[in-house]
Amino acid sequence: MTAQPLPGAFAMVDVPGPALDADTAAHLKKYGVHSVCLFGKNIESAGQLRQLCADLREVLGEDALIALDHEGGAILRPDFWPFAPSAMSLGAADDVTLTQEVSAALGRQLRSVGINWNFAPVLDVNVSPANPVIGERAYGADPAPVTRHGRAALAGFAAAGLAACVKHFPGHGDTRIDSHLALPRVDRSRPELEATEFAPFRELLPATPAVMTAHIVYPALDDIHPATLSRRILTGLLRQEWGYRGVTVTDSMGMRAIDDHYGRGEAGVLALEAGADLVMALGRREAQATTLEAISSALESRLNRREMEASLERLHALAQQYPAGADVSLNPQDDADLFRRAWTRGLTAYRHPVAPKPGSHITLIAHRQPVRETVSEAGADAETLARELGQVYGVRLMPFETPDQIDWSAARAAGNPVILATTARHRHPALIGVQPDLHIALYNPYAVLDVDAPALLAYGFHPEARAAVLAWLRDEVEATGKLPFGQGWTG
């Protein structure tokens, strides 16, 4: 570094709305920010998003990195493109060619508007059925299929000209706490971590442009610091032991796992000292400034000049390899059929479900209005499900606010088959042992471990997933997916 860089070179921020206002542009320029993460608040239409990315690129410069969480399933912000299946749906289909094709299509969606960095694929091995934040975002509960499908996803994104970012290193699959809300621990031995959590990350590093860190304490690696702030993990393990040369970016430093314990500014500096290249300093302008000012001060004193130069080189290389310009020749609607086929391929039968005869009458029990929770979008509401199932059956709807309000006696009073549709992010203890005639799992697939009934798993709630379920109910398609976790699991 011939001159001290501005602190924004080492920070990713978000912007407040669907257009880049002059005040926000000035803020980005003041601190020399090159990286922005977009969210639902920034997205209205494809044309608007393309203009926002063009305006951002002009301000961020040639090293612009414009990112989005675009995993598939519940982690899709734009609602104007065809919806891709979740990772676990692809894991259930277990066709790596399909996973590569779906990932390439997700990449084309983002490239069509000028986004050049996708925070996917998820390489977490979801070993805990009670995991509150990963679940169907993972390809499965075993490292081998996660590695297979992770490799295919990385190849698909690369083919689309999009930078991928694997997450959440070194593994978020064995947690029962959401790091958005608290600081989790994974109390597994180093050999256990090597055999499970580490396996997909370590094997796929040669094909991985970027790695996102997890806000989790792994006592076998560092009994004090979460991975995001651990030099033993980010430098000792990832860089020195495994030889990784790509970009490392933190998960959001506004998540309570970090913010409640360390505060924004100091945590950002600690992450850079640990070996992160880029700190995700999201949130209000004041919170961003706190991190940026702390980094600015640390560049003059605490931070290693040679390591900061190496970080700049890695970030520059990523932006140059995957430039942020929009490819207007791409039409995301072209992949609608691919996504429909992919959702259908993932349909999985559990305990030999049998659909009621089309034209008969059923009682549908479903959540009246699921809500958005942390990183995931809201599931389908009861009225929508009743309307769609009404294309196949005469439907008597019994909506509930929470599962403990369900009146099962009333549900059975009409003598019709009872279908329970679960559309919530989390499992609920009130569903343990209940016995509908058919359970349709439209969100958390592990709900089938609670409900004592034959089930159809869709691994998602988007229109394409619901269309696949309707086709199965009409006996037009079979459920050929393989359950990507053990049938005997509980917890």
Report d(CA 80, CA 173) in Å as an integer.
31
Tell me the C-alpha to C-alpha distance, in Å, between residue 360 and each of 16, 28, 83, 418. Answer: 50, 60, 30, 12
Tell me the C-alpha to C-alpha distance, in Å, between residue 458 and each of 343, 416, 480. Answer: 7, 23, 11
For 94-123, b where at least 16 C-beta lie within 10 A, e where not — what string?
bbbebbbbbbbbbbbbbbbbbbbbbbbbbb
Report d(CA 391, CA 398) in Å as an integer.
17
Burial degree of 388 (CB within 10 A; 0-12, 13-18, 19+): middle
Residue in 147, 211, 137, 195 with CA at minimum distance from that of residue 443: 137
Could you give the maximum distance between any two Cα atoms of the chain, in Å? 79
Marked catalytic residue, from 174, 178, 222, 251: 251
The yes-or-no answer on residue 260 being catalytic is no
For 292-322, b where at least 16 C-beta lie within 10 A, e where not — what string?
bebbbebbeeebeeeebeebbebbeebbeeb
The yes-or-no answer on residue 55 being catalytic is no
Tokens representing residue 336 in the block = 């609608």
Q: What is the DSSP string of 152-218?
A: HHHHHHHHTT-EE-EEEET--TT-SS-TTTS--B----HHHHHHTTHHHHHHHGGG-SEEEEP--B-
CA angle 137, 432, 186 (to 5 degrees): 45
Tokens representing residue 19 in the block = 């257009």
Burial degree of 23 (CB within 10 A; 0-12, 13-18, 19+): exposed
Please provide residue 444's backbone torsions phi and psi, each rounded to the nearest 5 degrees. -65, 115
Pairing label, strands 163-164, 348-350:
unpaired
Residue in 320, 306, 253 with CA at minimum distance from that of residue 275: 306
Contact 415, 362 (CB under 8 A): no
Marked catalytic residue, from 55, 180, 316, 428: 180
Which of the 8 DSSP states describes residue 253?
A: T
Please give the positions annotated as active site.
180, 251
